[in-house]
A and B are shown apart, each in its own frame.
Chain A
Amino acid sequence: MTSLIIRAKELLENKTVQVVIGYEAGPTGVARPAFITDPAKAESLIYDERCVQNLAVYLTKREVKNIGKMAIVATLPVMRSIMMLISEQQLFADNIVVLGISADGKLLDIADNKVMQGYIEKSDLSNPEKYKGLLTEFNKLSPEEKFLYWQKELSKCIKCYACRQACPMCYCTRCTVEVNQPQWIPVKANTHGNMEWHILRAMHLAGRCISCGECGRACPVGIPCHLLTMHLTDQVYNYFKVYAGTSEKMSSVLSTYEPNDKESFII
């Protein structure tokens, strides 16, 4: 995508930013995150349908932040993640340059956060089409069937926490699962503990999940754990008529979380 490469080069050359976070193609052809610091290397940036990872997760990673001011290739979910991170005071709007990408893959001119907000507001913020089918199917199940479905899926979970690590909203330095006084969630990966972990994760993301699907994509054993948080996105919208990640000043709808809350409505 030449316009993107030109823009990235420019930003690095005139030292507006020290790093451009975008995508490159790996040796097997998979698109993966790239951190371009040298304008001469901007050529390796790509943008096409393979570029699905939500890059916003890197905006809070220490070693990336250490490089300096960041520009980020941002599809809608990335922009919404940025809004969430700003509203939760994890990010200063002034510190990043957003290289917005439209739904049809064009470079957008996102001059500032107002423009970004405008773009987000006029976009469709409901769960992406590709997940809607499954969500609808899932909603047709009886509570018992839902329970059985998740029991089967989550019995595969190995607690590698790729889902958590890949999610831009899971930025806590010490996740509740790692708190041992008291031990809310058992360390080991057994079906019961896995269910508790996913209930906790879903609860912490209710009203904050911006429906990028990254958690499910990251899971090495193919658990569609994004359906849990996306289901909650639908629920929150039904009750409160809001979607996450639409403005800098959003206060979270569900801002108090109790890790040991058993919220049966998820499953």
Chain B
Amino acid sequence: MSDSIYKPYLMEIEQIVEETPDVRTYRLKFKNAEEAEKFSFKAGQFGEYSVLGEGESTFCVASSPTRQGYIECTFRKAGRVTNALANLELGDTVGFRGPYGNTFPIEEWEGKNLLYIAGGIALPPMRCVIWNTIDLRNKYKDITIVYGARSVSDLVYKHELKEWEDRPDIKLITTVDPGGQTPDWKGEIGFVPMVLEKAAPSSENTVAILCGPPVMIKFTMPVLKKLGFKDKDIYTTLENRMKCGFGKCGRCNVGKVFVCKDGPVFSYEQILTLPEEY
């Protein structure tokens, strides 16, 4: 008999990065080599991570499919499961079900410029696709990343931001909200939409990928439109509450769309056809 669809893989925490006081990144390795062998995923997909005895939580896979042998997740301590998860240590066990959901259409993007715009804790869902496209660097033209957080200490993936900054083939713009800067802060100061407007990246042959809190999305959309981006060239992800991850539990739908099956990745063109239930 094949394994139950509700049964998680058992994973071992191989590496822990304290991104901010309440955000952690775990690198997880399959305990079972056979499962590791069979497992594959694509950029944009998510999974159900669990602490046995506490429950499951939905996070995207934050590492790139081009980096094999492990997956990574970055999560913020928010509730019961995420707090329990944050109390784990190296070598501890985490359950993982997945991958679920659709993917960023990175093949369609080949030959185009990529503009990534992320706010706050929304960089993790995007990190996967960023690394995925960076690892296939010659397939894409310019790669620009605009990333904003409330304050310097809220920026996640600090070591990677440095790496991206140092690479000549990536343009990175980081910003913090006014008042969130430190004396030695060299990035921008201001909200993402304003910083984006100032940077004014060209929309010519460019796909924009936008993830962040609802307010950020709300104010960034008009800027993208002003820059000439078409609805079909803007991508985002939805994060409706989920339980099963495969279209059964009935929790995640936006109208007739299951975010867990048809999403979490949507073009803005698709979003406009959805009822406002997200």
Contacts and interface: CB of A to CB of B under 8 A. Distances in A.
Interface in A171-188: 180-181, 183
Nearest to A179: B80
A147 to B, nearest CB: 30
Interface string B83-107: 1000000000000000000000000
Contacts of B21: none
A180 B79 CA distance: 8
A42 B83 CA distance: 53
Contacts of B80: 180-181, 183
Interface in B53-101: 79-80, 83
Contacts, number: 6
Contacts of A183: 80
B58 to A, nearest CB: 15
Contacts of A180: 79-80
Contacts of B79: 180-181
A235 B79 CA distance: 38
Interface string A239-257: 0000000000000000000
A181 B79 CA distance: 8
A interface bracket (residues with beta carbon within 8 Å of B)? under 10
B146 to A, nearest CB: 35
Contacts of A181: 79-80, 83
Nearest to B55: A180
Nearest to A182: B80
A255 to B, nearest CB: 28
A84 B98 CA distance: 50
A82 B79 CA distance: 35
Contacts of B83: 181
A91 to B, nearest CB: 31
A174 to B, nearest CB: 12
Interface in A2-22: none
Interface in A28-54: none
Nearest to A187: B55
Interface string B167-187: 000000000000000000000
A136 to B, nearest CB: 44
Nearest to B84: A181
A225 B203 CA distance: 64
A182 to B, nearest CB: 9
A183 B80 CA distance: 9
A117 B80 CA distance: 45
Nearest to A183: B80
A91 B80 CA distance: 33
A205 B83 CA distance: 32
Nearest to A180: B80
A181 B80 CA distance: 6
A181 B83 CA distance: 10
A180 B83 CA distance: 12
A123 to B, nearest CB: 46
A249 B80 CA distance: 38
Interface string B124-160: 0000000000000000000000000000000000000
A188 to B, nearest CB: 13
A27 B239 CA distance: 41
B87 to A, nearest CB: 12
A260 B83 CA distance: 22
A53 to B, nearest CB: 29
B78 to A, nearest CB: 11
Interface string A129-163: 00000000000000000000000000000000000
A32 B2 CA distance: 51
A183 B81 CA distance: 12
A63 to B, nearest CB: 17
A180 B80 CA distance: 6
A8 to B, nearest CB: 35
A187 to B, nearest CB: 10
B55 to A, nearest CB: 8
B249 to A, nearest CB: 13
A15 B83 CA distance: 52
A181 B87 CA distance: 14
A16 to B, nearest CB: 35
B246 to A, nearest CB: 21
A185 to B, nearest CB: 14
A154 B80 CA distance: 28
A198 to B, nearest CB: 24
Interface in A181-225: 181, 183
A94 B211 CA distance: 46
A142 B227 CA distance: 78
Nearest to A181: B80
A180 B84 CA distance: 12
| Ranked 4 nearest A-B pairs via Cβ | A180-B80, A181-B80, A181-B79, A180-B79
6 contacts: A180-B79, A180-B80, A181-B79, A181-B80, A181-B83, A183-B80
